[in-house]
Amino acid sequence: MMEEMLRLSALCIAVSLLITVIGQGNRTMGMLAALTAGLVLFGWLLPQISTVLSKLQQILDTAGIGIDLLAPVVKVLGIALCARLCGALCLDMGSRWAANGIEMFGVLSALICVLPLLERVLHLIGSI
């Protein structure tokens, strides 16, 4: 895992330099290269997250805790990752309004995902 991390760090540094060079000549193409790098980075990240999530699921099964408790947490994680990456890309491209819009919508979506958990907690408290 450590090698993957080192390889990815080296790749990000190399690509950032490349994007800086391209961006000087043509800003549009620099942004497209940054978008592509973001896609590749996310494409590398997702399988690692799947591994963690399946291990987490096994642990919950062993502990006898229902999977429906984990689902909102996983969705919020996905929303956070997506909003963070897309917001950063928009910020790089100079669209602060788009970045803020994505982050706000991410917060709202995460809140909606968590509401069922909140209801269960209140229900639990009420039944004591």
Partner 1 sequence: MDVDLIFRVAAVGILVAVLNQLLVRSGREEQAMMTTLAGLIVVMMMIIEQINRMFTLIKSTFGF
Q: Which residues bind partner 1 (CB under 8 A)?
A: 11, 15, 18-19, 21-22, 24-26, 28-30, 32-33, 35-37, 39-40, 42-44, 46, 49-50, 53, 71, 74-75, 77-79, 81-82
**Three-state secondary structure call for residue 64:** coil
CB of 81 to partner 1, least distance (A): 8
Q: How many CB atoms lie within 10 A of CB 89?
A: 19
**Three-state secondary structure call for residue 76:** helix
CB of 125 to partner 1, least distance (A): 27
Which one, 78 or 101, has the nearer CB to partner 1? 78
Residue 64: C-alpha distances to residues 67, 69, 122 (Å): 9, 11, 22
Please provide residue 65's backbone torsions phi and psi, each rounded to the nearest 5 degrees: -95, 140
CB of 1 to partner 1, least distance (A): 18
